[in-house]
Amino acid sequence: MVISFLSRLFAGMVLVALTASGADFPAGSLAEHLATNAVARTAGVTDVFRSTMELTGWDYKADYSGTNLVWLTRTVWSTNCWLKGVSGLCATPIGMVTNNLGGQGLMTMISPRHYLCATHMHPEGHRAAFLDTNNVLYWRTTRQRIDLPGSPAKGIGNDISVGILDEELPPSVGYLPVLPTNFPDYLTITPGSVVQGIGMNQDLRYFSQPMTFAFKSYVAWNSGITIPGGMAKDWNVTIRGGDSSDPDLLLIHNQLVLVSHHFYVGGGPNYALAYDAINAAMHELSTNNHVKTDYQLTPVSLAGFRKVE
């Protein structure tokens, strides 16, 4: 995790932005949907910690190797997870055969071959274990990556890398859509505007991540607040060192949507603002690795939600 004066300053800015509470969200808005859609899945839950764990049979190991792969091969999706049955859980691997601890530094798939990850992490050259919807484990090796240059003038934050696997993953693993470039038509991006997001950390826990899109090139979050009509504060988890590159998401209907990854303790780059650059890198990687299908990002449809007035 990048910890510096800049990150502490950024975290302070986030605190100011996210403590400005707003009124209830307009009916039919995307913000209202994000809050009520998530909180409905937590109704009646009494064991919050257990319900945030996505897996059973998994163990946080210092290094997965040929002698302890049972901790990955015996793993199954938890029937107690609050996100049980949601599309997209499989898109992030459950571990890598590296010297990383547990679920540190994971990538997330954006096509059957391509993934996004933090530039300051280096998953390339390692084997990743993907668990599909039928609890079948698929092994893939990361091959090549392209680091995107940050461009504040274009609103593109630093720390975005696009990578490619050695072979496709099956549809039962899948990949995640991202926010479309016109997301500001549906989400308020002024200071103090917050929505119900979801984070994942190195413990393979999925939790409430109150977030804002108010910053020029970064998505920001704060575990110290709650969203009007959203998940209770005890569902929040504070990001810590080692969570870098793990995904930050929205839940739209029954689909997880990728918006960022952990860069700072309180934020990460906004993928939607790097849409064209990511697509260009995906094309280059496909060409370099002789991929027959020219995969590009899949934008989630926001049709049907009320636009910001």
pLDDT digits (tens, 9 = 90+) for 209-227: 999 999 989 999 999 999 9
Instruction: Calculate the average pLDDT of the chain.
Output: 90
Position 204 in a domain: yes
Nearest to 131 by CA among 204, 168, 77, 67: 77
- 20 lies in some domain: yes
Residue 296 forms part of a structural domain = no
Q: How far apart are CA 19 and CA 220, in angstroms?
A: 12
Q: Write down the residue that tokens 């696009």 correspond to.
A: 162
Residues 6+ apart with CB under 8 A from 67: none
> Does position 167 have pLDDT exceeding 90, yes or no?
yes
The tens digit of pLDDT for each residue in 24-58 reads: 799 999 999 999 999 999 999 999 999 999 999 99
- Which helix (H) or strand (E) segment holds residue 141: the answer is strand 137-147
Q: Does 293 reside within a domain? A: no
**Predicted confidence (pLDDT) at residue 287 exceeds the cutoff of 90:** yes
Q: What is the mean pLDDT of residues 93-100?
A: 83
CATH at residue 142: 2.40.10.10
Return the structure tokens found at 207: 């939790």
In this structure, is residue 299 part of a structural domain? no
CA 24/CA 10 separation, integer angstroms: 27
User: Domain tally for the chain?
Assistant: 1
Provide the residue range defining the domain that includes 69: 5-288
pLDDT in tens, 117-135: 999 887 666 889 999 999 9
Q: Are 89 and 240 a contacting pair, CB within 8 Å?
A: no
Residue 212: C-alpha distances to residues 1, 74, 86, 291 (Å)? 20, 38, 23, 36
pTM above 0.85, yes or no: yes
| Beta-strand pair 218-221/247-252 | unpaired
